[in-house]
């Protein structure tokens, strides 16, 4: 079903959208405007994300404003408020602590923690110290964590004793680069790693003795600031490098696509382990001087509505999976709450179905504004704006300062622009925006392969309609999007293959009403093993233990043979077509029997 256009939001009396005339701003916009708005002087040659997000506010009345309002998962607890100046002081102490431990500019500080204020302190303190911040998702199992920390040459990891025991203790002694495990809490007992290079540090006493004053390290705009991992179809996870200059895009895109105004009460529900949780969960909102809501608990419909109501949230940035879960509870639950503070709703991470846009309008009184971006782009690239009509189901139009197009490339690597409206091709972006990734760590060839001349190929298929709106079609590769998380099939298959019974494995995403896709594994067994429920549970159990529940397959199907190319590569595309009863497409390279 196609839905009619949702007319642009009418501005509330006091608040005009930041982006009032899309066409006019697009035509004239230069990234220099972001530098000017943030008083970034090219003359000094210095730029540090933390200076923009925190230090700057210490000279204005924003310092006394609440930066973080933390909602603990403990029942009946009161919200904890942390002002911009208190957060600044905590980040200073953290930066002082890192320096006292001998960490230097460019060292990689990983963070494995739930959503708590400590995470913000660690992120900002790491940046202040000139180190590189790399967040990990706490629902990852030991395997994905080790892979990312090894690729990233981790020097330190900030975590809790519980997560250390569960996800790190079994392997950290073998880490070639890790020197510190910085524990946010103090456990009763903890076994020390049997590696004398590696030290466990209890942060509480260290921070108490660290200086609350710290002069932010004068990094340069092109210095590495953030390392975000993303999944590819083959090989190991990719470490996307982002630089301090990215802050210009974080700031500007949040002004345009999230319509952030100072003093907004803003809730970004993304987990800090993913790029959204950093770019728009930490950096962009602090740059704008808003109050951030941090909820430690997991999704629960009633709790979420209560948060929107009781915290007077004005701008809400969430994801399609969450919206679909709320939709399942029906409009009644929403209507039992006073949601009149809400001013702007946005969504990212997966295709936002038209029904969800319209549901927002009917149930919450506001439409969801879908926007599109990915780890590599570092910030929002295509969006629906407050001042623009929404075509439900569309990702919107390119951000001012961003050139997006549809193209295809030949086997020989030549690019052809697709200019006919509505023709499907790969979504491409003209290189050069401030938050563009600057490389995949240690994998320059993989990075170069993503570009033809100065166009970046995103790996997503899309079309552009006659009005310049972009529509998502699907991934151009086999990467799976489950509950907003990108999952590389290769990473999952590699763990399945470690089970003694598994001879071969192919992993695909199966469409799912709530989560977008769920991971399904197809497995061929070694001779002598019986395909039964017990074995299936055993293999799934191994996958959950090693990969964590967010990444592990939800189900397994046993097959005598998996479809393969003549060169022996499992054809996931064909597994998927057969599973879903879709056309098999080109099977000329198929070599089915072994």
Chain residues that interact with ligand AMP, rule: CB under 6 A: 230, 275, 348-352, 370-372, 374-375, 395, 458-460, 472, 475, 481, 486
| Least Å from the CB of residue 387 to ligand AMP | 19
| Least Å from the CB of residue 479 to ligand AMP | 7
Cα separation, 263 vs 275, in Å, equals 24
Instruction: Write the DSSP assignment of 404-446 as a string of letters.
Output: EEEEEE-TT--EEEE-STT--EEEEEES--TTS---BTT-HHH
Residue 331 vs 474, nearer CB to ligand AMP: 474
Residue 334 vs 383, nearer CB to ligand AMP: 383
Instruction: Write the DSSP assignment of 533-585 as a string of letters.
Output: HHHHHHHHHHHHHHH-TTTS-SEEEE-S---BBTTS-B-HHHHHHHHHT----
Q: How far is CA 446 from CA 151, 181, 391, in A?
A: 14, 31, 35
Residue 118 vs 350, nearer CB to ligand AMP: 350
| Least Å from the CB of residue 450 to ligand AMP | 12
Place of tokens 């590599």: 376
Tell me which DSSP letter residue 363 carries: I
Residue 125 vs 349, nearer CB to ligand AMP: 349
CB 199 within 8 A of CB 178: no
| Least Å from the CB of residue 377 to ligand AMP | 8
| Least Å from the CB of residue 275 to ligand AMP | 5
| Least Å from the CB of residue 232 to ligand AMP | 11
Cα separation, 56 vs 39, in Å, equals 9
Torsion angle of the four alpha carbons 435, 59, 82, 102, in this order, in degrees rounded to the nearest 10: 60
Residue 395 vs 535, nearer CB to ligand AMP: 395
What's the length of the chain?
A: 594
Residue 283 vs 352, nearer CB to ligand AMP: 352
| Least Å from the CB of residue 458 to ligand AMP | 6
| Least Å from the CB of residue 98 to ligand AMP | 28
| Least Å from the CB of residue 384 to ligand AMP | 10
**Sheet with 555-558, side-by-side order of all strands:** 502-512, 516-525, 555-558
Cα separation, 517 vs 550, in Å, equals 12
Residue 180 vs 437, nearer CB to ligand AMP: 437
Cα separation, 380 vs 249, in Å, equals 8
| Least Å from the CB of residue 459 to ligand AMP | 6
Cα separation, 385 vs 378, in Å, equals 19
Cα separation, 175 vs 12, in Å, equals 54
Residue 96 vs 374, nearer CB to ligand AMP: 374
Residue 125 vs 484, nearer CB to ligand AMP: 484
Burial class (CB in 10 A: 0-12, 13-18, 19+), 28: exposed
Cα separation, 322 vs 333, in Å, equals 15
Cα separation, 34 vs 255, in Å, equals 10
Residue 318 vs 375, nearer CB to ligand AMP: 375
């Amino acid at each position: 079903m196609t839905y009619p256009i949702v007319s642009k939001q009418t501005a509330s009396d006091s608040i005009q959208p930041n982006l009032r005339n899309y066409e006019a701003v697009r035509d004239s916009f230069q990234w220099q405007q972001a530098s000017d708005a943030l008083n970034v002087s090219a003359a000094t040659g210095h730029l540090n994300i933390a200076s923009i997000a925190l230090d700057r506010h210490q000279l204005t009345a924003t310092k006394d404003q609440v930066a973080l309002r933390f909602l603990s998962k403990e029942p009946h607890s009161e919200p904890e408020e942390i002002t911009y100046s208190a957060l600044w002081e905590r980040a200073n102490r953290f930066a002082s602590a890192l320096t006292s431990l001998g960490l230097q500019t460019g060292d990689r500080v990983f963070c494995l923690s739930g959503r708590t204020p400590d995470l913000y302190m660690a992120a900002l303190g790491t940046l202040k110290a000139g180190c590189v911040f790399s967040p990990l998702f706490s629902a990852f199992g030991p395997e994905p964590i080790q892979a990312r920390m090894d690729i990233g040459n981790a020097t330190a990891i900030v975590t809790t004793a519980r997560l250390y025991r569960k996800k790190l203790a079994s392997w950290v002694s073998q880490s070639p680069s890790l020197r510190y495990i910085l524990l946010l809490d103090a456990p009763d007992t903890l076994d020390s790693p049997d590696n004398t290079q590696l030290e466990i540090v209890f942060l509480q006493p260290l921070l108490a003795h660290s200086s609350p004053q710290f002069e932010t390290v004068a990094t340069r705009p092109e210095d590495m600031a953030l390392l975000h991992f993303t999944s590819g179809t083959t090989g190991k996870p990719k470490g996307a490098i982002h630089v301090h200059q990215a802050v210009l895009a974080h700031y500007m895109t949040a002004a345009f696509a999230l319509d952030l105004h100072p003093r907004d009460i803003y809730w970004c529900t993304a987990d800090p382990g993913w790029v959204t949780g950093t770019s728009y969960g930490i950096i962009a909102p602090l740059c704008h001087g808003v109050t951030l809501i941090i909820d430690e608990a997991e999704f629960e419909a009633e709790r979420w509505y209560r948060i929107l109501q009781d915290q007077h949230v004005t701008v809400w940035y969430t994801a399609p999976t969450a919206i679909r879960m709320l939709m399942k509870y029906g409009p009644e639950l929403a209507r039992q709450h006073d949601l009149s503070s809400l001013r702007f709703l946005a969504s990212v991470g997966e295709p936002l179905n038209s029904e969800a846009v319209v549901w927002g309008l009917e149930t919450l009184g506001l439409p969801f504004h879908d926007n599109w971006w990915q780890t590599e782009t570092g910030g929002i690239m295509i969006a629906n704006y407050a001042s623009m009509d929404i075509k439900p189901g569309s990702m919107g139009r390119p951000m001012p300062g961003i050139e997006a197009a549809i193209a295809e490339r030949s086997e020989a690597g030549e690019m052809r622009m697709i200019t006919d409206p509505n023709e499907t091709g790969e979504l491409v972006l003209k290189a050069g925006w401030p938050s563009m990734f600057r490389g995949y760590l240690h994998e320059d060839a993989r990075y170069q392969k993503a570009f033809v001349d100065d166009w970046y190929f995103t790996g997503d298929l899309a079309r552009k309609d006659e009005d310049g709106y972009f529509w998502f079609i699907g991934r151009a590769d086999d990467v799976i999007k489950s509950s907003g998380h990108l999952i590389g099939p290769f990473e999952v298959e590699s763990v399945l293959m470690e089970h003694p019974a598994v001879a071969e494995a192919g992993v695909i995403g199966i469409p799912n009403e709530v989560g977008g896709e769920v991971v399904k594994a197809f497995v061929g067994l070694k001779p002598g093993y019986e395909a039964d429920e017990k074995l299936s549970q055993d293999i799934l159990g191994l996958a959950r233990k090693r990969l964590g529940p967010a990444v592990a397959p939800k189900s397994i199907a046993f097959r005598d043979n998996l479809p393969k190319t003549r060169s022996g590569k499992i054809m996931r595309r064909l597994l998927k077509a057969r599973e879903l009863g879709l056309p098999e497409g080109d099977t000329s390279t198929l070599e089915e029997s072994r």
